[in-house]
Amino acid sequence: MKFIPSSIQRILADYSLKKFLCYAAFPAHWAKLYALKLQANTEKRLFENHVLQWQQTNEPRPSSPRYIFQPWLRSEPAPSFELAGDGLVVNRDSADPEIRMREDRLGWALHLHAHDGTAAWTAVEKWLAERWEKGLACRGAYSISERVGNLILLWNIHAPQPALGAQIVRMLEQDTDYLLAHLEYHGEAGTNNHILNNARALILAGAFLNTGSFYEVGCWLMENQLAKHVAEDGVVREASTHYQWVITRWMVEVGCAFHFMDQARFHQLRPRLHNMLQVCDAMLLGEDGANYMPLLGDISPDFPPRLYGGMTRFGYALLCSGDEEQNDKVSASGFWSQFFVGRMQPTQQSWQALDNSWVRIRNHGWSLIAHVDVHPDDSRSTHGHHDLFSFELAFGGQPVIVDAGRGNYLAGRDREAAGILEEWHNTIMVNGRRTGFVPRGYMPISWLKRIRTAPRVSAESQRLEIRLDAPHEVPGISCIQRTWLWADERTAIVTNRVRKELVSQASIKLVLYVMGQVSEAEGGLRLQIGTNSFLLCWNGLDMPVLKDAVRYAAYDVPEPCTRLEWIVISQDSDWESDFKISALESIE
């Protein structure tokens, strides 16, 4: 393998792509694949023709930018938050292109301004001279969209000096012109949520620069694409806790532009945006005021999770929804809480998406969240992780059982740093067969229905059940099931169950990632997490194999945890085992 190029190695390691290549190798399937390609080409041609009419307009450009965010700025910024652990390293020499592209997306300028209000524009001016003026800045549509949005937001918070401002306006005009000609539309089945970022950038640039072509194309994109990537109840189909916040941020900024430019569009966006904000808050684990963002699914490399503090409160202020913050209780827990006013809304004790793809339950001090790929034949569901049956569990706002997160987009899908396959999630794997997500934007739906089984979800206020009945993926198995419930206020129980019919035995692998210091205790393992202690017990299993691991607190920012793995060979027709997690008395 060492003589095979790394790009080919990554393809060979891609479980879902290999399955698709097996499908595509049969001549009987070629007509279907060709028809899909023709359909995508037709859709792209119609799209390009629509955009072209705006590219050909010759309109005057304004002399002075417009301040679309200023109505919601605090009169004085709140005290800045701590830098430690924010994880926004810019490194031109990194082997990871996502980290290299950070420099040209300029999220770091917002981060820098939060901690030194005089340094951000100086650093941006240096970047202009070293990167943009020399033609070295990344020209990808997503990177341009990030750059445009971040610069306009920074300008609204603190405008640059006039000479630098003139350079910034010229750059914004040229970047947005380029973006207009390179939008990330790949046909209806192949277009992901990047198109919403493109739309956001066009709308912000159009409102800020008073340029109608940018604004109208952005609005047209938003009107045609938003409902395809964000459900009516506010759930982003990316199916990632972090990207739920990322994309909701885009929509909050679009809402500010609409509020400034177009009240009709603002009121049209309002219901879905309000739901998106509530979903963001629902995905936090812990109690109000003492919670954190679990990182299920992909992690954005551009703006670390901890910096999103206050973003939903800013969104509620934009919508005039909820209770006003008390000035004496304002604390800057993130970028938005530092610079923008906010309103507060209490989150629900238990929440689930309308399609059951997400469930979050609170029970006294416990918080549980799980994601389920309930639409395995939906080409626009782009979760990307093989994490069926996985979950994250917290107590008192402190993570106990955690998802390992996504550490690196460059790593092969079979590598731990990628965090994609079942081996790197708190899941159940039977007979070595994969039951998790398959990327499918390029796959025929009729074929997906034959190889993927839709899981079933049953959620109540204090109980969750996920099951896979007669899975195509695991022949001879009639059901794989996991159930969560509480024995009492301090004890959570996770029941694992596998039923078989046509095979004599089943090999069952169970994996958990836990936080804190792990030591053996009577009947199980003791987890010491800060001043809190937990006892993890099980039945029907031997002592697990323990391995040092990492949980990604942000993209490429690891923190230590421990991976537990059990393997059991069962001949029972109905095998069952419980995990019991008990919160012990805190150490004073």
DSSP string, 9-56: HHHHH-HHHHHHHHHHTSGGGHHHHHHHHHHHHHHHHHHHHHHHHHHT
- Decide: helix, strand or coil at residue 486: strand
Separation of alpha carbons 241 and 280, rounded Å: 8
| The pLDDT value given to residue 329 | 47
Separation of alpha carbons 457 and 357, rounded Å: 8
- Phi, psi (deg, nearest 5) at residue 528: -105, 110
The residues, ordered by sequence, that sit 6+ positions from 383 with a Cβ below 8 Å of its Cβ are: 238, 239, 240, 297, 371, 373, 437
The structure's pTM equals 0.93
Single-letter code of the amino acid located at 35: A
Encoded tokens for 542:
């031997």
Half-sphere exposure at residue 488, Cβ-oriented, CA atoms within 13 angstroms: 4
Report helix angle 141-157 to 120-127, nearest 10.
150
DSSP 351-415: EE-TTSSEEEEEETTEEEEEE----TT-TT-------TT--EEEETTEEEE-------SSS-TTS
- Per the listing, tokens 């919160």 go with 583
- Per the listing, tokens 């041609």 go with 45
Cα 247 to Cα 88, 311, 343: the distances in Å are 19, 11, 20
Separation of alpha carbons 173 and 135, rounded Å: 15
Instruction: Name which of 102, 103, 158, 154 is nearest 126 in CA terms.
Output: 103
CB atoms within 10 A of CB 499: 17
| The pLDDT value given to residue 219 | 96
Torsion of CA 284, 285, 286, 290, to 10 degrees: -50
The residues, ordered by sequence, that sit 6+ positions from 352 with a Cβ below 8 Å of its Cβ are: 358, 359, 360, 457, 459
- Decide: helix, strand or coil at residue 220: helix
Separation of alpha carbons 220 and 54, rounded Å: 11
In the chain, which stretches have pLDDT less than 50? Answer: 1, 83-85, 328-330, 587-588
Instruction: Name which of 392, 494, 487, 379 is nearest 438 in CA terms.
Output: 379
| The pLDDT value given to residue 414 | 73
Residue 212 zone, left/alpha/beta (φ > 0; ψ -120 to 50; rest): alpha
Separation of alpha carbons 178 and 161, rounded Å: 25
What is the Cα 377 distance to its own chain's centre? 20
- Phi, psi (deg, nearest 5) at residue 16: -70, -40
What sign does the CA torsion over 14, 16, 19, 25 have?
negative
Instruction: Label the pairing between strands 574-583 and 456-460.
Output: unpaired
Encoded tokens for 239:
């199916």
- Phi, psi (deg, nearest 5) at residue 330: -75, 130
Separation of alpha carbons 70 and 542, rounded Å: 60
Encoded tokens for 295:
């990182």
Encoded tokens for 410:
């460059």
Single-letter code of the amino acid located at 124: V
Instruction: Name which of 582, 588, 585, 587 is nearest 400 in CA terms.
Output: 582
Instruction: Name which of 386, 357, 376 is nearest 452 in CA terms.
Output: 376
DSSP 534-582: EEEEESS--PPEEEEEEEEEETTEEEEEEEEEEEEEE--SEEEEEEEEE
Separation of alpha carbons 450 and 550, rounded Å: 36
C-alpha triplet 157, 112, 285: angle, nearest 5° = 90
Encoded tokens for 364:
């006294």
Separation of alpha carbons 426 and 404, rounded Å: 9
Do 117 and 168 touch, CB atoms closer than 8 A? no
Number of H helices, E strands in the chain: 15, 21
Half-sphere exposure at residue 153, Cβ-oriented, CA atoms within 13 angstroms: 27
